[in-house]
Amino acid sequence: MVSRRLALRGGVLGAIGGILAGGDANAEPVAAGGAVAQRGDEGSDRIATSIDKLRDELHIDRQFTEIAAIREAQKTFLRVNGKFPDYIDVGSDIWFQVHDWHVRWQQPLTIGRDPLNRYTIVLNQTAVVLRPDSLPSYVSLPYDSR
């Protein structure tokens, strides 16, 4: 049985190769063997370049730049305290980036309110608290409920 990944990879590579080759089905074959080899090398180079660009785009997509600031604060707190923080206060831009990250990656949204009636959203066992009175890009030091 063919795996889904293998089938998709073969289809994508075939499509890219067909697009990059750009040859006409009714065209006359080239008589000189060196010209065919050179065209084949150029086509291979273009395919390799296209695959590299695609790989870079996928890698950038998986870096989660929307939540990078919160993750860094969580990692620092984790190294010092051996656990994730209970709360991190953030400005409106960061809070909406966390919200959009949940929507984009189809993660369950756990939105609530804290005892001071501020909006919260849970990210990796940490309640991200919206502080509309702060700067939009504000990220506080993480803290615990105790």
pLDDT in tens, 23-55: 544 545 555 555 556 666 888 888 989 998 888
Which pLDDT tens digit goes with each residue over 62-116?
A: 677 889 999 999 999 999 999 999 999 999 999 999 999 999 889 999 999 999 9
CB atoms within 10 A of CB 58: 9
At 136, is the pLDDT very low, low, confident or very high (cuts 50, 70, 90)?
A: very high
Indicate yes or no: pTM above 0.75: no
Q: What interhelical angle do 4-21 and 33-61 show, nearest 10?
A: 130
Domain ranges of the chain: 37-146
Tell me 139's DSSP state. Answer: B
